[in-house]
């Protein structure tokens, strides 16, 4: 099972309750490439990461049903269905984590200063970088 091969994370840190139910049935809901990339990113930065913690269980994988509940019935698409993580760390400034995620090659990266996390996903193709303010995404110009 892929989660047993990760150096820094357990399934409970990355999967929602629906994801854990799928895992019990032998189904890995997350992209193996994204999981390995997250584990390698954590090794690269050599610092603690938090995904699901302190009662937050929808910051890694979440099912379409959980996503709809999170967004008040809106059935919008989310990269959290397979390859996204919302990460915090007590050891880095959130802007430093944001820049490190971009430099490491994550496909989509945004910073949420209100909730103090960086979203990283392993999308292919177009890369985008944004910050979230007042519930809206604002593109960030990179130097």
Say which CATH number the domain at 119 has: 3.30.1380.10
Q: What is the pTM of this model?
A: 0.85
Indicate if the pLDDT at residue 6 is higher than 60. Answer: yes
Indicate if the pLDDT at residue 143 is higher than 60. Answer: no
The domain total for the chain is 1
| 3-23 average pLDDT score | 91
Domain that holds residue 107: 2-139
User: Per DSSP, what are the bridge partners of residue 131?
Assistant: 111, 138
Angstrom distance (rounded) from CA 128 to CA 93:
20
Return the HEC string of the chain: CHHHHCCCCCHHHHECHHHHHHHHCCCCCCCHHHHHHHHHHHHHHCCCCECCCCCCCCCCECCHHHHHHHCCCCCCCCHHHCCEEEEECCCCCHHHHHHHHHHHCCCEEEEECCCCEEEEECCCCCCEEEEEECCEEEECCCC
Provide, rounded to the nearest whole percent, the portion of the chain with pLDDT above 90: 36
Q: Are 16 and 58 in contact (CB under 8 A)?
A: yes
pLDDT per position as a tens digit, 31-86 = 999 999 999 999 999 999 899 877 777 888 998 898 888 877 777 788 888 899 99
Output the pLDDT for position 14: 92
Which of these ranges, 15-29, 38-52, 106-120, has the smallest mean pLDDT? 106-120
Output the pLDDT for position 35: 93
Sorting pLDDT into bands at 50, 70 and 90, what band is 125?
Answer: low
């Amino acid at each position: 099972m892929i989660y047993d091969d990760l150096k820094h994370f357990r399934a409970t840190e990355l999967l929602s309750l629906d994801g854990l139910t799928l895992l019990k049935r032998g189904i890995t809901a997350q992209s193996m490439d994204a999981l390995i990339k997250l584990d390698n990113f954590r090794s690269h930065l050599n610092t603690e990461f938090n995904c699901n913690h302190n009662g937050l269980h929808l910051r890694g994988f979440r099912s379409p049903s959980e996503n709809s509940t999170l967004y008040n019935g809106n059935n919008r698409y989310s990269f959290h269905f397979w390859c996204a993580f919302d990460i915090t760390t007590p050891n880095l400034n959130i802007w430093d984590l944001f820049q490190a995620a971009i430099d490491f090659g994550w496909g989509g990266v945004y910073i949420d200063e209100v909730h103090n996390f960086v979203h990283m996903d392993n999308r292919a193709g177009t890369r985008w970088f944004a910050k979230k303010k007042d519930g809206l995404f604002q593109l960030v110009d990179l130097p």
